[in-house]
Amino acid sequence: MAASQSSSSITNDGYEYDVFLNFRGPDTRSDFTGNLWNALHNRGIRTFRDDLEIYKGKNIEKSLFEAIEKSKAAIVVLSPSYATSSFCLDELCHILKCIEGRGGFVWPIFYEVDPSKVRWLEDTYGEAMAEHKKNNWYSEDKLKEWENALNQVANLSGTVYKWKKGDGYEYMFIDKIVRVVSTVIQPFSLSIPDYLVGLEDQKQDVLSLLNVDSDDKVYMVGIHGTGGIGKTTLAQAVYNSIVDQFDGSCYLEDVRGKTGNEGLIHLQNILLSKIFGENKIVVTSVNEGINELQVRLKKKKVLLLLDNVDKLDQLRNIVREPGWFGRGSRVMITTRDIDVLRRHGVERRHEVKMLNKDEAYDLLRWKTFQTNEVSPSFEDVFNRALTYISGLPLAIEIIGSHLFSKKTIEEWNSVLDQYKKVPNQEIFEILKVSYNDLVQDYKDVFLDIACFFKGDNLEYVKKILHAHYGDEKKDHINVLIEKSLIKISEFNDLSLHDLIEDMGKEIVRLESPYQPGERSRLWSVKDIVEVLEENTGTSKIGTIIMPWDIKKDNVVNWDGEAFKNMTKLRTLLIEGVKFSESPKHLPNSLRILEWYDYPSQYFPVDFLPRQLIICKLSSEFYRPREDFFKKASVMNL
């Protein structure tokens, strides 16, 4: 007869149950089989048991047969009076047909009986079959089927337990069964890409931090990095490689955004259900969930993976401290925000690295051609795609899949040209998640860096931002680093991935897709010239930084009126571009004015910049009266 975990949902491995427990109730239900079911259940092995699963009013035989068909494996407890039960014998026949017949695992436990007695129908087994024949209740075919089934199961590799002959303590025997079943019934593996590149070294780094061989401690390990860099894939690969070493495991997928009572209770219930295999555990408050987790988890050695964490309260209410868990437990946390890990006291951390050039080449080659080489005719456009992707695994996955269907060089170039104009929407949305999490002040600074300051010296950028915003944005760069949006190079320059830069610029472009003068920031020479020549600037523009135009003979043909409506322009940097005439207006809101080759010796008569802090103009510029720049701390006139 049988054993389960009170769950009726089909899991991703296609089975409702891991093990069907076939046994003679009066012999072992209240001791051996009951204890075995409990041990399997506590290990998180979904085990069917008839007295828990079969309810009054159901067709018992049909329900038992369905449970066998939904089970991955079976344990057959062959006790002295086992063969007296027609139910047990019918179940055994169905187990051998359905589970053993499809190559599944069937394990006979010879409990206080010799395998030979079962095989040759001797002692109690011979007596039971003789009684069945004597009663004349069953057909010859049925009796022959039972005899063949007993012979077949007795010939399978099994285990003998005879407590009366000193085979050891029962709990030790049960523990051995559970360990074997745990090995055979592989814990549910997380799905990861078939073709992995650049993962093995980082996987070993994380395994070293987890130190699974040390059973006396509980470790939490944080895996952090920018969006799309492969944090989840790395964590899943590590999880799959060690999950069979734990008494229970749980993967909490995409924790991001699950906050407040409803979100946290949902996470707590998933964790309790997956670790303990019980859907009957349902907590209704965060505090109740905390109490359940504290009491239950400390008894088990578990492996947890919390993916895409973005808030501290998620950690505090799910994995508050090592003391919650049994000895040897491990917790992995993936996040874009290293500050969440620091504040939770997670000292063991791994920052996921971008793919190097060779790794990116290898992965993109596979995604686009699924061969071991790139056609020589495609080499140039392939390298162009490689440069655009810049080692980000997410981009390789998405763009590689897109390019896979393109068969000509012209099609490849067309796709890449389009991406330069408008970033791939799927990549954009995934990367933008980190931006969406920022408060407005941090968003402003990120957009400034993405649009203007990539590659610039950190101290220079701080000076510009301080002048533009004042003291309130003083420490925002550090927050952006913690959120994995930007980095500081070894030379103290600001760096960010090309696709994150594109994401920031696209956010600004979408403020007004067709009217540059309606955007908050202008950095493109083409857009700036259009706004200045057509007088389409508005009060929405806060910053204009016009880089050196390599076409040195370019001239902005304007009437000098373009700045009149830019009443909130704070920063204006122009270099290397000639103007047909001098400006008739400059915004009094300016805090930073840098204009090399300024086309006049004078400022407009109505220009009174009371907030101006940085002013750098051509050396020929006529110096105004001393009180003109009341606040300016940097001047080069």
178: closest CA among 21, 27, 76, 37?
Answer: 37
CA angle centred on 63, ends 59 and 65, rounded to 5°? 125
Burial letters for 516-555: b for 16+ Cβ neighbours within 10 Å, e otherwise? bbbbbbbbebebbbebbeeebbbebbbbbbbeebeeeeee
Structure-block tokens of residue 57: 């009013």
469: closest CA among 605, 594, 614, 325?
Answer: 614
Q: What is the C-alpha to C-alpha distance for residues 414 and 419, in angstroms, rounded to an integer?
A: 9
Site of tokens 């951390």: 349
Q: Give yes or no for a contact between 562 and 542, defined as CB atoms under 8 angstroms apart.
A: no
Q: What is the C-alpha to C-alpha distance for residues 423 and 401, in angstroms, rounded to an integer?
A: 15
Among 91, 292, 501, 594, the active-site one is 91
Structure-block tokens of residue 364: 């993109």
616: closest CA among 467, 459, 456?
Answer: 467
Structure-block tokens of residue 429: 């949305």
Site of tokens 């571009």: 577
Strands (E), 387-482: none
Contacting residues for 296 by C-beta, under 8 A, at least 6 apart: 272, 275, 276
Q: Give yes or no for a contact between 107 and 76, defined as CB atoms under 8 angstroms apart.
A: yes
Classify 345 in phi/psi space as left (phi over 0), alpha (psi -120 to 50) or beta: left
CB atoms within 10 A of CB 475: 10
Q: What is the C-alpha to C-alpha distance for residues 21 and 178, in angstroms, rounded to an integer?
A: 13
Cα distance between the two ends of the chain: 94
Is 91 among the residues known to form the active site?
A: yes
Q: What is the C-alpha to C-alpha distance for residues 455 and 496, in angstroms, rounded to an integer?
A: 8
Q: Is the CA virtual torsion 450, 452, 456, 461 positive or negative?
A: negative
Query: What residues are annotated to the active site?
Result: 91
